[in-house]
Amino acid sequence: MQKNCKKCEDLLKRLREIDFCLVETVLYLNAYPDHAKALEYYHKLVCERADLVEQYQKDCGPLTAYGNTSQSSWDWVKTPWPWEADAD
């Protein structure tokens, strides 16, 4: 299912960047819950992350075991797992 290893690596890298930004933004919002721009940024990141997850799962396979969308097969074990960057 991994059609383009470079594309999958790039998508995974971007997901990691978004996740880092989300964690930092959540920590900021914990201290400043009424900061409108931070909340707007948080929602932007959440949407971008959802789009990236959808794209990754479409092109590369499930991102997590919960991302298995096939009704007829367990695709989670058919491709290298996201943390197995060197597996081919």
Q: Which residue has the higher pLDDT, 64 or 14?
A: 14
Q: Is the per-residue pLDDT at 88 higher than 60?
A: no
Q: What is the C-alpha end-to-end distance of the chain, expressed in Å?
A: 11
Cβ 62 vs Cβ 69: under 8 Å: yes
Q: State pLDDT tens for residues 72-84.
A: 777 777 777 777 7
Per-residue model confidence as pLDDT tens digits over 13-41: 999 999 999 999 999 999 999 999 999 99
> Does residue 1 surpass a pLDDT of 70?
no
**What is the b/e burial string over 22-40, where b = at least 16 CB atoms within 10 angstroms of the residue's CB?**
beebeeeeeeeeeeeebee
